[in-house]
Structure 1
Amino acid sequence: MAVTIKDVAKAANVAPSTVSRVIANSPRISEKTKEKVREVMKQLGYHPNFIARSLASQATRAIGLVLPSSTDIVSQNPFFPIVLGGLSDGAHSKQYALHMTTGKTEEEIFEGVVSMVQGGRVDGVILLSSRVEDPLVSYLLEQDFPFVVIGKPFKNVEQITHVDNDNFKAAKDATNYLLSLGHEQIGFIGGNLNLVVTVERLLGYEKALRDAGLPLINEYVIHDEFLREGGREAVQALLALKKLPTAMLVADDLMALGVLNALDELGISVPEDVSIVSFNNVLVAEMARPPLTSVDINIFDLGYEAAKSLIQKIENPKEPTKRIIIPYELVKRSSCAKPTKKTLTL
């Protein structure tokens, strides 16, 4: 015979309503009482029926996740498994489920989100990237539907709760590190310019060069996908130049791995000929040869705080809009050195 809330209440010597509030993690119940009731639930093998609870409360206890339309980026780039791990932990701690959108195009993803919202399948939505032009943000604002963005919104910043790094400052600091080593010809390899993170890092890179009194060389700035192949293609674009940069700021570790591979095939040594700083500090950076100096943006924390913030908005509609900045750290490894005096040409 199945264990009921009344059985748990009797064993814990509390009211059934108290057990219900413990299951809902109500702040009205003390931590001591919560611990006692949860221990009894564990001893009796009681498992809450969240489907029934959802029907009663008109809540799904589910969060919709909006991933990029490129399946290659999601499946290949280590950023996404790590951020999803943080999202999962944040949601699980409050007993929420995660629903991911699927779609090969931006239009399909938009339709999927509209379906989730209109169909009442989720209580809130998390956007895993921030775009310069993003109809999803406009739609969710119009619907007054709870959502959180991982990244800095391009518009309506004060109206949107978001979790982000200070990507402008991080890129500026990373560029300054290369400048401190003596590099003056520094390239930038970034992602899609419709991504706000790309724009912010590019602006930080440019500000560091301007502050150092150095000219901006447009040919040294290249944009491609956050993939290994994107890094390889960026190097191919640099081959058209008569003079290569002595250092590169690459906006993603997986791209940087592609850069390393392409340079190695050309007989160009890192860091002897070219220094590289990348972003994310995933396992790829540590395992690369040579190991990459990389900006650790604490990806797991980005996901965890996004889930936590959205649940707060869901459970308290009056929760104020917040901007949560996750700290970063430049992790120095073996991919950077002082520039040699020789000019590297191809």
Structure 2
Amino acid sequence: MSITIKDVAKRAGVAPSTVSRVIADNPRISMETKKRVRKAMKDLGYHPNINARNLAVRSSQSIGVIMPSSADVALQNPFFPEVLRGIGSHLHEVEYSLYVSTGGNEETTFEEVQRMVNGNRVDGIILLYSRMNDPVQEFLMEKKFPFVIVGKPFENESEITYVDNNNVQASKDLTNHLIELGHQHIAFIGGSKELTVTSDRLHGYRSAIKEASLPLPDEYIIHTAFLKSGGREAVEKLFQLDTPPTGLVVADDLMTLGVMNALEELGINCPEDVSITSFNNLYLSEITTPALTTVDIQIYNLGVQSARCLLELTKNKDEPAKRIIIPYDIKYRKSTTPIN
């Protein structure tokens, strides 16, 4: 004998209509009631016909996630698996699937997003980046399709829901930490100039340097890939200068790992010869030698909050745009020291 919604309702002590609303993840149903109903479904072995329900409510029960570059490149950086873990954990709670873009370049990524939207493959999209003149963002806004950005939008900030940290202040705090330790020659290593996260962290660094009336030669600002190889390239440029830096603000922990490896090969010691600060507090930041002073931006929570905001948008497209700022915390470790 097959289990029905009425059986689940009786077991959970609710009306059959409440069970239907729980299956549809209606936001008006309390989390306590949802847990009780889902437990009854599990205990009874009840499995709703998701395909039939999705067809009825015109929902795919899937969310698309777009990375800033091809998956094989982006996933080299532990930031992305961690933010995906946060997104996936929330989607699992509400029985949504995750559709991750694997586009190789901007053109193929844009085509993939068009297929997602026009083919009704997903109910909404999370962009794991924010860059200037992004055709994907323009397309989603034109289509009025639900989307959320992890990062601050380059434009139309008041019209777009996004989840971010205060990257300007965090970078300023890191730079001031080096200044307080007596460093006067401080360089910045960031990602692509087109990425908002790079421009915000560069802005914070510049502000601190300017307020301290320290020198800021153009050669002290390096833009490269958010990869280990990018950090190595930056070291090659910075430590050939007549006056190399004694302090570094690096915009990503994986880049910093490349920086530290390259410095070691050159016989330059951290922190005795150069103090290093970084961002993201990836798992590797505690196991480097020395352990890395870095900004904990709560990557997992960025993912959770972006998924939560997007699901709210998919259920109510008139939901006002939100700005969710996740607090950061600087982890002071052994990679910085007062200048000799």
State the TM bucket, normalised to the shorter chain: over 0.9
Kindly state the Cα deviation for residue 90 of structure 1 after the two structures are TM-superposed.
1.8
Tell me the equivalent position of 1:269.
269
After TM superposition, the structure 1 = structure 2 runs for residues 235-250 of structure 1, keeping only pairs within 5 Å, are: 235-250=235-250
Distance 1:83 1:211 in 2: 34
| Counterpart residue identity of residue 318, structure 1 | D
Matched, 1:216 2:216: yes
1:173 counterpart residue number: 173
RMSD of the TM alignment (CA)?
1.5
Is the 8 Å Cα contact of residues 132 and 195 (structure 2) preserved in structure 1? yes
- The corresponding residue for 2:100 is 100
Instruction: Note if contact 1:73-1:226 (Cα within 8 Å) is conserved in structure 2.
Output: no
Residue 314 in 1 paired to residue 314 in 2?
yes
Q: What residue is the counterpart of 2:256 in the other structure?
A: 256
Partners of 2:129 and 2:260 in 1: how far apart?
26
C-alpha separation in 1, matches of 2:251 and 2:162: 20
Alignment-derived partner of residue 150 in structure 2:
150
Q: Does 1:198 align with 2:198?
A: yes
Do the aligned partners of 2:176 and 2:208 also contact (CA within 8 Å) in 1? yes
Q: Any conservation in 1 of the 2:209–2:216 contact (CA below 8 Å)?
A: yes
Counterpart in 1 of 2:294?
A: 294
Q: Deviations over 1:121-147 (max 9, x none)?
A: 111111000002211111111101100
Q: Deviations over 1:39-71 (max 9, x none)?
A: 322221112222221011111111111112244
User: Secondary structure of 1:276's partner?
Assistant: strand
1:179 and 1:13 map into 2 onto residues whose CA distance is 63
Shift of 1:173: 0.6
Taking structure 2 as the reference length, the TM-score comes to 0.96
More displaced 10-residue stretch of structure 1: 259-268 or 66-75: 66-75
In 2, distance between residues paired with 1:236 and 1:14?
Answer: 67
Shift of the alpha carbon at 1:4?
Answer: 2.2
Quote the offset at 1:195 in angstroms: 0.7
Output the CA distance in 2 between the equivalents of 1:126 and 1:45. Answer: 32
Cα distance, 1:79 vs. partner? Answer: 0.2
Is the partner of 1:256 in helix, strand or coil? Answer: helix
Aligned to 1:129: 129
What is the SS of the residue equivalent to 2:258? helix
Preserved contact between residue 70 and residue 102 of structure 2 (Cα < 8 Å):
no
Who is 1:115 aligned against?
Answer: 115
Q: 2 CA distance for matches of 1:230 and 1:15?
A: 58
For each residue in 1:263-296, what CA deviation from the matched residue of structure 2 results, as whole angstroms up to 9, or x when unmatched? Answer: 1111111000000001000111111111110011
* Match in the other structure for 1:227: 227
| Alpha-carbon distance in structure 1 between the residues aligned to 2:318 and 2:214 | 48
Alignment correspondent of 1:334:
334
For residue 13 of structure 1, report the CA deviation from its aligned partner. Answer: 5.2
Instruction: Evaluate the alpha carbon distance shift between residue 112 and residue 9 of structure 1 in structure 2; reply closer, same or farther with a 3 A threshold.
Output: same
CA distance in structure 1 between the partners assigned to 2:12 and 2:210 by the alignment: 67
- In the alignment, structure 1 segments of 5+ residues that lack a partner are 341-346
How far is the alpha carbon of 1:2 from its aligned partner?
A: 3.5
Deviations 1:49-101 (A, max 9, x none): 22221011111111111112244532211101100001101222222111111
Change (3 A) 1:271 1:31: closer
Work out the CA distance in 1 between the residues paired with 2:331 and 2:285: 10
Q: Secondary structure at the match of 1:64?
A: strand
Provide the C-alpha distance between the structure 1 equivalents of 2:99 and 2:162, rounded to a whole number of angstroms: 19
Q: Kindly tell me: are residues 34 and 335 of structure 1, through their superposed partners in 2, closer, same or farther at Cα, counting changes over 3 Å?
A: closer
Residues 1:5 and 1:186: Cα distance change in structure 2 (over 3 Å): same
In the alignment, which residue of structure 1 is the partner of 2:91?
91
Answer yes or no: is the 8 Å Cα contact 1:190–1:223 preserved in 2. Answer: yes
Q: Residue 75 of structure 2: SS of its match in structure 1?
A: helix
* Alignment check: 8 A CA contact 2:185 2:215 kept: no
Instruction: State the one-letter code of the partner of 1:81.
Output: P
Listed one character per residue, the Cα deviations across residues 94-130 of structure 1 (whole Å, up to 9, x for unaligned) are 2211111121110000000011101111111110000
Whole-Å separation in 2 of the counterparts to 1:32 and 1:309:
20
Rounded to whole Å, the distance in 2 between the matches of 1:32 and 1:259 is 49
Equivalent-residue separation in structure 1 for 2:299 and 2:27 (angstroms)? 29
Taking a change above 3 Å as real, the CA distance of residues 114 and 234 of structure 1, as seen in their structure-2 partners, is same
Aligned residue type for 1:187: A
- Partners of 1:11 and 1:302 lie apart in 2 by 36
Aligned-partner Cα distance in 1 for 2:143–2:92: 26
Residue aligned with 1:233, SS: helix
Aligned position for 1:52: 52
Q: Report the counterpart of residue 343 of structure 1 in structure 2.
A: none
Instruction: Decide whether the 8 Å contact of 1:172 with 1:205 is kept in 2.
Output: yes
Aligned equivalent of 1:140: 140
Report % sequence identity: 55
Q: Which amino acid in 2 is paired with 1:129? A: Y
Over 3 Å counting, the alpha-carbon distance change for 1:35 and 1:338 in structure 2 is closer
CA distance in 2, matches of 1:293, 1:48: 49
Gaps of 5+ in 2: none
